[in-house]
Amino acid sequence: MTTNHTAIHVENLTRDFGKVRALDGLSLDVPAGIIFGFLGPNGAGKTTTLNLLLGLLEPTAGHAVVLGFDTRTQADEVRARSGALLEHSGIYEQLSAEDNLEFYGRVYRLPVAERRARIQELLTHMGLWERRRDSAGKWSKGMKQKLALARALLHRPSLIFLDEPTAGLDVQAAVAVRDDLASLAAREGVTVFLTTHNMTEAEKLCGRVAVIRQGRLVALGNPDELRARAGGPHVEVVGRGFTAAVLAQLRAQPVVAAAEMNNEHLTIELHTETDTAPLVGLLVGMGVQVAEVRRGKASLEEVFLTLMEEEK
Amino acid sequence: MIADILTVMWKDRKGLMRQGGSRARGAANQLLIVVMLAVIFPIQMGSDWFSHSLTLVAAFVVPMIAVGITVPESFAGERERHTLETLLASRLPDRAILFGKLGLAIIYGWGMAVATLLLGAVVANAVGWKGQVMFYTPPILLANLGISLLASGLTAGLGVLISLRSATAMGATQALMMFLLVPIMILQIVPLLLLTVVPNGMAIFQRLLKSLDFTQVMLVLAAVLLVVDVALLLVAMARFRRARLILS
Put simply, whether A162 touches B (Cβ < 8 Å) is no
Q: What is the structure's pLDDT at A134?
A: 87
Put simply, whether A19 touches B (Cβ < 8 Å) is no
Q: What is the structure's pLDDT at A1?
A: 47
Q: Report the gap between the CA of A147 and the closest CA in chain B (Å).
A: 13
| Residues B170-176: contacts with CB under 8 Å, at least 24 apart | B170/B22, B170/B72, B171/B76, B172/B71, B172/B72, B172/B75, B172/B76, B173/B26, B173/B68, B173/B69, B173/B72, B173/B73, B176/B68, B176/B71, B176/B72
Is the Cβ–Cβ distance between B219 and B147 less than 8 Å?
no
Scanning every residue of chain A, which has its alpha carbon at the shortest distance from the alpha carbon of B79?
A90
| More confident site: B70 or B215 | B70
Arithmetic mean of pLDDT over chain A: 86
Residue A250 Cα distances to A253, A255, A258, A264, angstroms: 5, 9, 8, 16
B91 vs A108: CB contact, 8 Å cut-off?
A: yes
Collapsing DSSP states into helix, strand and coil, what is residue A128? coil
pLDDT in tens, B79-100: 999 999 999 999 999 999 999 9
Residues in chain B whose Cβ is within 8 Å of chain A: 3-4, 7, 10-11, 14-15, 18-20, 81-83, 85-93, 242-243, 246-247
CB crowding A239-253: b at 16 or more within 10 Å, else e: beebeeebeebbeeb
Min mean pLDDT across A53-57, A176-180, B173-177 is at A176-180
- The Cα–Cα gap between B126 and B134 comes to 10
**Shortest CB distance from B18 goes to which of A55, A79, A94?**
A94
**Shortest CB distance from B19 goes to which of A94, A104, A109?**
A94
B247 vs A108: CB contact, 8 Å cut-off?
A: no
pTM of the full structure: 0.81
Put simply, whether A87 touches B (Cβ < 8 Å) is yes
Q: Which residues of B touch A148 (CB under 8 A)?
A: 86
User: What mean pLDDT do residues B229-237 have?
Assistant: 94
Could you tell me which of B46, B38, B51, B50 has the C-alpha nearest to residue B128?
B46
**Residue A83 pLDDT > 70:** yes
ipTM comes to 0.83
B246 vs A51: CB contact, 8 Å cut-off?
A: yes
**Residue A281 pLDDT > 80:** yes
Scanning every residue of chain B, which has its alpha carbon at the shortest distance from the alpha carbon of A162?
B86
pLDDT in tens, A111-136: 999 999 999 988 988 888 888 888 88
